[in-house]
Amino acid sequence: MSEKKQYISTDPADKIKFRADPQEEQKQYLKITNKSEMKQAFKVKCTRNDLFRIKPSTGILDYNQSLTIVLIYRGGQEKLPAEERHHFGIYHIPAPEGCTCEGAWAEHYGPPQGEHKLRVIWE
């Protein structure tokens, strides 16, 4: 698979760390920044909606705009989920002027312009 140019940068860059406590609800923060020269519509997804929540999970970033996204581990598990299986994915496409995030994705055909995955780590 060829590496796509990244128009959205993330902080942290490669992994999201949660404490190794399967019972407790926990929050982590992900900062995304639009590095392209046009608006970008984004979606943030996770491997299991019953384990994780994302706020906000979609939106539009203006050129050079940053946004902090809250990633929530819901807790309430007997044991820790297997970490090699879980990640958050950030997907983005160009957003035409004046369109909504939903409209940009509805009009878009093919794969996203860029995607970035961050592994979930328990420590």
Res 105: pLDDT: 95
In CATH, the number for domain 8-122 is: 2.60.40.10
81-107 pLDDT, tens digit per residue, is 876 789 999 999 999 999 999 999 999
| Average pLDDT score, the chain | 92
Token readout for 111 is: 């794969």
Please give the helix or strand (H or E) that residue 41 lies within, else none. Answer: strand 40-46
What sign results for the dihedral spanned by CA atoms 16, 4, 62, 47? negative
pLDDT at 4: 53
For residue 64, pLDDT over 80 is answered with yes
- Residue-wise pLDDT tens digits, 5-22: 679 999 999 999 999 999
Give the pLDDT confidence of 40-51 residue by residue, as tens digits: 999 999 999 999
Rounded to 5 degrees, what are φ and ψ at 18?
Answer: -115, 150
Under 8 Å between Cβ of 88 and 45: yes
Task: Give the start-to-end residue ranges of the domains of the chain.
Answer: 8-122
The structure tokens listed for 121 are 């780590």
Q: Are the CB atoms for 66 and 40 separated by under 8 Å? A: no
14, amino acid identity: D
- The reported pLDDT for the residue numbered 2 is 42
What are the structure tokens assigned to 94, written together?
């160009």
- Would you call 107 helix, strand, or coil by DSSP? helix
